[in-house]
Structure 1
Amino acid sequence: MAPLKSLERDYPLIDSTFQNFCASHGIFTVEDFLIHDLYLLAVLAEQHNNSEKLKQGITQVLSIIESRCRPWLNGLELLDDVEQNKHALSTGCERIDAFLQGGIREGYLTELVGPSSCGKTQVCLQTASNVARKYSGRVMYFDSGNSFSSKRIVEFVSQMSDPANNQANRTIQQVMKSIVCHSIFDIFTLLDLLHQLKNSLRSQMGCQVRMLIIDSISSLISPVLGGSGAHGHALMVTAGFLLKELAHENNLAVLVTNHMVAGEVGVSKPALGESWKNIPHVRLLLSRDHVTNISSMSILKHPCLATGKSAEFVIRRGP
């Protein structure tokens, strides 16, 4: 989350006095500012000797936020953006690619939800392997459950490579260098890394990033959702909209995984609740028959494909 202190250098009104006033009311970042009752904040500012300056600071922060909002686009501009920039990245599984009309789409936040051991991580690893092998640019892989497997990446690359190709080892090395893995275990580290990535992409430093994978996002968010406070909910929404912003502004394909929890009358449902349900552009439900090893993917939400549509496939195991 962007701290208010980061604005101080360019905006003198957001000085230490203003920051201390905000901090006394639990406001440390721009995101905290947005979810606070601004009318109440203005009333509280009235009680201070330098109330006018504090209210000017509130207005200053609001104007900064407004100036950084994206301009409105008409339908033709949005269509051009989709056709020119929002391409699909192949997952490496022909059945999944055909089902999704090409694969995981750039510019979208795609969520893969399913019960434990249904193959979510395997889909992520295969997708990361294929994107790193087939496209220029890096794959950022945020691992929250110690489930990232370099060995499995090598297996996938070997399966997708021509056995007669003498360059197989070079391809494996290139793929492994193109996948940047971070182990993260809390929502605050995730938000920090997302802001670092946002700044890096904005400044065009380093290699192009084609895909961001978070396996799993629910294990990072669920621990802060307990209790009756709104702070955990605000963190979840902040993470979700930051991911969507990264995807849209940088034509980045974002893939996250989510687990299942018990719902009404024993029926499982995706974790993170109703508020999160509306954040991803695409929601895909994954299941697997552990006897036949056949996986099934169905659409819970998609801007282009019919809800309820499904397909079966098999994730190839290693040699």
Structure 2
Amino acid sequence: MAVLSEGMCPGLDEVLLRGLRAADVKTVEDLVSSDIEELARKCSVSYKALFAIRRVLLAQHTAFPVSGADLYEELLSSTAIISTGNPSLDKVLDSGLYTGEITELSGGPGSGKSQVCFGVAVHISYQLKQSVIFIDTTGGLTARRLLQMLQTETSNKEEQMEALQRIHIFRLFDVHSLLDCLHSLRSGRLQQASVGSGSVKAVIVDSVSAVIAPLLGGRQNEGMSLMIQVAGTLKTMAKDFNVAALVTNHVTRSGSGEVQPGLGVSWSHIPRTRVLLEQVEKSLVSQSTLRSATLIKSSRQPCHIKEVFDLQWWSRSKEGSSGKRKLEETDS
């Protein structure tokens, strides 16, 4: 229990400390649990000044309780919702990707995880005019593929190039390189990517399991430690820089044969939202581009919400007599 002392944070001087002690407020816990408006009157100090001190102390001593009202105020002031560009997927995600959080797409080979990531990156860079960090750990991302998708958005080559410049690609093939990259982004590279090309609104890692899964299993404690480091760095970066983190994961089968995301129980607590992508068989003759998205973890919506969408949504021509596609257009 930390005792309040002079200089603990800006504004907490000797005069205010005397007033707080007279009001029987002697520790950080006493202060953050008090009615700030009433305490401000007792100490003859402005409400705003005392509220600011309380916020700093809360940040420094996170183990102390914070009220639901404070959490809601922080949510309203800092969280943004970024559309994926696909109405069906947005519905499963409760409107889109939330900044400050990690969203996971899991699925087997051919489920469309990478295609969705490409589509999200193109949508954010072209439609929203914001920047994206795309970390490719499988070698599946090519500038040609992104350009093809952008060509369905606009025939203007200058606009295509501007959108491509807003997608910053890192190719990394081991977990140590991934950690170095994430640490570099946290320590300033993220702001550099924002200069002159829109703010960075999303960090995409496709795939996080490709570099972590080979290190797990058996007695490989180092693999578990590295996984937790990746998770912690991603969560901190998403929160501190108010960006949405989108990661992809492989799937495994449980003892009962049920499909489930990979990387085990420890990783399952990391993403705030988890979506399972699966192929939808259209016929035995033609390969379907339809995919199902099932919500398997969320703090906002009931799980098992399921939507079917077409992977070609991001590759269809959006130009026409009416100009750019409206963001709220639905897939027929």
**TM-score scaled to structure 1, two decimals?**
0.72
Q: 1: CA distance between counterparts of 2:300 and 2:142?
A: 33
1-structure distance, mates of 2:138, 2:160: 24
Question: Radius of gyration: which is bigger?
Answer: 2
| Residues 92 and 294, structure 2, Cα contact 8 Å, conserved in 1 | no
| Rounded Cα–Cα distance in structure 1 between residues aligned with 2:193 and 2:168 | 12
One-letter amino acid of the structure 2 residue matched with residue 188 of structure 1: H
**What is the distance in 1 between the residues matched to 2:273 and 2:175?**
22
Q: Which residue number in structure 2 is paired with residue 158 of structure 1?
A: 151
Contact 1:201–1:250 (Cα < 8 Å) also in 2: no
Q: Which moved more, 1:169-178 or 1:80-89?
A: 80-89
Please give the alpha-carbon distance, in whole angstroms, between the structure 2 residues aligned to 1:80 and 1:201: 29
Q: Which position in structure 2 is the counterpart of 1:128?
A: 121
- Change over 3 Å in CA distance of 1:262–1:223 after alignment to 2: same
Partner of 2:292: 296
Which SS does the other structure have where 1:151 is aligned?
helix
Partner of 2:99: 106
Cα deviation, residue 201, structure 1: 6.0
Match status 1:231 vs 2:222: yes
Instruction: Please give the per-residue CA displacement for 1:263-302, whole angstroms capped at 9, x wherever unaligned.
Output: 2143332110011111111101111124342211111111
State the one-letter code of the partner of 1:297. A
**Residue identity opposite 2:117 in structure 1:** C
- Partner of 1:190, secondary structure, is helix
Q: Which runs of 5+ in 1 are unaligned?
A: 1-66
Alpha-carbon spacing, 1:253–1:302, altered in 2? closer, same or farther (3 Å): same
C-alpha offsets along residues 76-115 of structure 1, whole Å, 9 cap, x if unaligned?
Answer: 2221222222111111212212332321111110000011
The equivalent residue for 1:64 is none
How many residues align? The count is 247
Q: Tell me if 1:187 matches 2:178.
A: no
Hey, what does 2:204 align to over in structure 1?
213
The answer to whether the Cα contact below 8 Å between 1:289 and 1:295 also exists between their aligned partners in 2 is yes
* Counterpart Cα distance in 2 of 1:222 and 1:68: 35
2:187 is aligned to 199
Alpha-carbon distance in structure 2 between the residues aligned to 1:116 and 1:211: 24
**Structure 1 residue 147: Cα displacement:** 0.7
How far residue 68 of structure 1 moved from its aligned partner, in angstroms, is 7.2
d(CA) in 2 for partners of 1:81, 1:286: 32
Instruction: Write out per-residue CA displacement over residues 198-225 of structure 1, whole angstroms, 9 at most, x where no aligned residue.
Output: 00168x4451321100000001101211
Residues in 2 aligned to 1:120 and 1:141: alpha-carbon distance in whole angstroms: 14
Do the aligned partners of 1:225 and 1:232 also contact (CA within 8 Å) in 2? yes
1:57 is matched with which residue?
none
For residues 76 and 287 of structure 1, do their structure 2 counterparts lie closer, same or farther at Cα, with a shift above 3 Å needed? same
The 5-angstrom pairing of residues 1-319 of structure 1 reads 73-161=66-154, 168-200=156-188, 204-207=191-194, 208-291=199-282, 292-316=288-312, 318=315
Large movers: runs of 4+ above 4 Å:
67-73
Of stretches 112-121 and 150-159 in structure 1, the one that deviates more from structure 2 is 150-159
> What corresponds to 1:49 in structure 2?
none
User: Structure 2 counterpart of 1:307, which letter?
Assistant: C
Residue 307 of structure 2 aligns to a residue in which SS?
strand
Counterpart AA for 2:301: L
Q: Secondary structure at 2:311's aligned position in 1? A: coil
The residue number in structure 2 matching 1:53 is: none
Task: Give CA-to-partner distance per residue, 1:164-214, whole Å, 9 cap, x none.
Answer: xxxx21221111101111111111111111100000168x44513211000
Asked if 2 retains the 8 angstrom alpha-carbon contact of 1:194 and 1:242, the reply is: yes
Q: Percent identity?
A: 28
Is 2:83–2:96's contact at 8 Å kept on the other side of the alignment? yes
8 Å CA contact retained: 1:113, 1:286 = yes
